[in-house]
Amino acid sequence: MKIVKIPIEMIACFSEKGIPHPLKFKINKTGDGPPTIVKVNMIIHMESEKTAGNPMYVFRCQSTIDDVLKVYEIKYELSTCKWFVYKI
């Protein structure tokens, strides 16, 4: 997987404990043209980590993107409430 760290717009639901569960997101990979909407088909693995002192949730997910089944990582920063595609 290649590290890209692209900010995304995410639709997620949260558990009663405040843990997010990603459902689908909008990504603009090229910068121009219409964004791609990706539905999260499966969450393979979820963990929490600290990067440079910032607590984050890391999700390894699987989806069909452009008719190809892909595994990727998305991160949720707790301090800023921002989502990123980290590896794809």
- Mean of pLDDT values over 70-81: 96
Helix (H) or strand (E) holding 18: none
Contact, 50 vs 56, CB < 8 A? Answer: yes
| Residue spans of alpha helices (H) in the chain | none
- Mean of pLDDT values over 52-79: 95
pLDDT of residue 66: 86
Paired tokens of 58: 């890391």
pLDDT of residue 33: 83
The domain spans of the chain are: 3-87
Is the pLDDT score of 62 beyond 90?
Answer: yes
Is the pLDDT score of 52 beyond 80?
Answer: yes
Whole-model pTM: value is 0.91
